[in-house]
Structure 1
């Protein structure tokens, strides 16, 4: 933790802010004052920073009656391409943490206090996928009319451009066949985009932002940190599958991965082929990104799995 003021900021969040240049440095310098002003305006007391965030200050807060909540103040770069507050407001607690207060000028949210993340519970990834699928079925909402969310076509085109750029920047670390297949799938998802087939999707569902709802029986979960996309539901399911790499090596990798997609289709009724394509795109994109940010071992694992999942000859 960085403890330059009253409010300690996690080291990853501090580095992320500094990477934003003068604007990020100014935000760091002003953070104590921003948080103190929010304490005053929202009549809360902000506690110790919580672990896990890399683009925001996140901490538990209490009001005068002792009721707990979570405050999140994003660094300047965390706004880009995201519609977090709008998604949370429209969800109204269904599938997502309930939004209690919002201040757009200070990039601050006050949220319902939830329990531990799914990532901390030690469950097999197959069980985590089941839980996240059930939570997505609750969290997907209709896309509002005249919305400005990134569309599925835009997301596919952006991922395609990013994959090509990152592949060259990282020294072409995987076979061109994997890149060509990812680009083919990006073109296919962009071409087949239809507004009537979309939902207001999370955009980055994973175990770390899937939190337990305290006091529920059976146990329920809610999401936090949505990006907000107007995209087919298969995209969110593809994101879930990108990290389910266990067993996906050797000669049976392709068939096993296809069977996992079929199970997901049975659970959600979302067609299998779009899930497969988005999962492949996301594996390649995420693997390249991990290489760029220095997590070479995990990045290479993602890319090896993508190569193993190329259509058998």
Structure 2
């Protein structure tokens, strides 16, 4: 069972939420209860961990390894993540073993969390990422998920509406691209929502060498999901010669490799980079925010 003093949240999580956050105060007791109720043996907390969740390596009653993910998130978001993982049922994504959305808890098969696609050379990582993400784009069926239309509508109101004056021309371009994209028909599939190299983790399972984790599921067109991958390893990209031309080539290559529309991928890449950049600037991370906005200008 749990050894409470050892269940300390990673410092990254503490810094993000703030040391006085009420969820952090409840976390040791919550972990102890879940370990007991789900008959889990605690091994260790994964560090550095996420900014809104913590993962503990555990073993189930039969000795099989698993990962207990505890999220400082709204119950609806936890339920959506669980629903998406059930829909994929291990195809391209980590398998869900058990869930308690009210407690913010997911029990997952154990992956090699320390080894993501970012450990590979970029070209190889991109190929593996494309192979993984195409498996996730399945019909959503009867679903509880938010649509890209609704999700981005909230972003326009809450984030882009507060953009600094100096970036308003780029913001208007991003909003116009969104409106045009949503105004034309497109396939509606289940999306990961935050797909990038860093969320695709190594596994020992014979069904796949790499599996996606940490979805923020939405329903929309595949180009929206792929747009986040376009700017992967952005710091390296920014430091390389001919970066703007590289970005445009990357869009063409990714779209063509997955039989997607280049212009729709370009539009969503622009929108998502601007929204992320403005959000970073508004939350005080001006350096990364300005880098994302510069990237958006190249698209």
Q: Greater CA deviation, 91-100 or 183-192?
A: 183-192
Partner of 1:287: helix, strand, or coil?
Answer: helix
Which ranges of structure 1 fall in alignment gaps of 5 or more residues?
none
Are the aligned partners of 1:248 and 1:257 in contact in 2 as well (CA < 8 Å)? no
1:39 matched to 2:35? The reply is yes
Identify if the C-alpha distance between structure 1 residues 187 and 163 changes in structure 2 by more than 3 Å, giving closer, same or farther: farther
What is the root-mean-square deviation in Å for CA atoms of aligned residues? Answer: 2.8
Identify if the C-alpha distance between structure 1 residues 7 and 222 changes in structure 2 by more than 3 Å, giving closer, same or farther: same
Report Cα offsets for 1:219-261 as digits up to 9, x if no partner: 7211111111111011111111133545569996554333222
Q: Identify which of 85, 90, 98 aligns with 1:101.
A: 98
Identify if the C-alpha distance between structure 1 residues 125 and 78 changes in structure 2 by more than 3 Å, giving closer, same or farther: farther
Are the aligned partners of 1:157 and 1:190 in contact in 2 as well (CA < 8 Å)? no
Are the aligned partners of 1:284 and 1:303 in contact in 2 as well (CA < 8 Å)? yes
Using the alignment, how far apart are the partners of 2:171 and 2:28 within structure 1?
45
Are the aligned partners of 1:117 and 1:207 in contact in 2 as well (CA < 8 Å)? no
After TM superposition, the score normalised by the length of structure 2 is: 0.87
Partner of 1:53: helix, strand, or coil?
Answer: coil
1:206 matched to 2:196? The reply is yes
After TM superposition, the score normalised by the length of structure 1 is: 0.83
- Aligned match of 2:183: 191
What are the equivalent positions in structure 2 for 1:1-313 lying under 5 Å apart?
5-18=5-18, 24-25=21-22, 27-51=23-47, 52-77=49-74, 79-80=76-77, 83-115=80-112, 116-118=114-116, 120-121=118-119, 123-145=120-142, 147-168=143-164, 172-174=165-167, 176-194=168-186, 197-214=187-204, 216=206, 220-243=209-232, 245=234, 246-247=236-237, 254-309=244-299
Identify if the C-alpha distance between structure 1 residues 211 and 173 changes in structure 2 by more than 3 Å, giving closer, same or farther: farther
Report Cα offsets for 1:87-118 as digits up to 9, x if no partner: 00111111110001111221111101112332
Report Cα offsets for 1:45-75 as digits up to 9, x if no partner: 1222112211122110012443210001111
Q: CA deviation at 1:287?
A: 1.6
Which ranges of structure 2 fall in alignment gaps of 5 or more residues?
none
Report Cα offsets for 1:121-176 as digits up to 9, x if no partner: 1x34343222211100112221113x2311122233233334423413xxx453x3
Number of residues of Structure 1 aligned to a counterpart in Structure 2 = 294
Report Cα offsets for 1:188-209 as digits up to 9, x if no partner: 1221255xx1111000012221
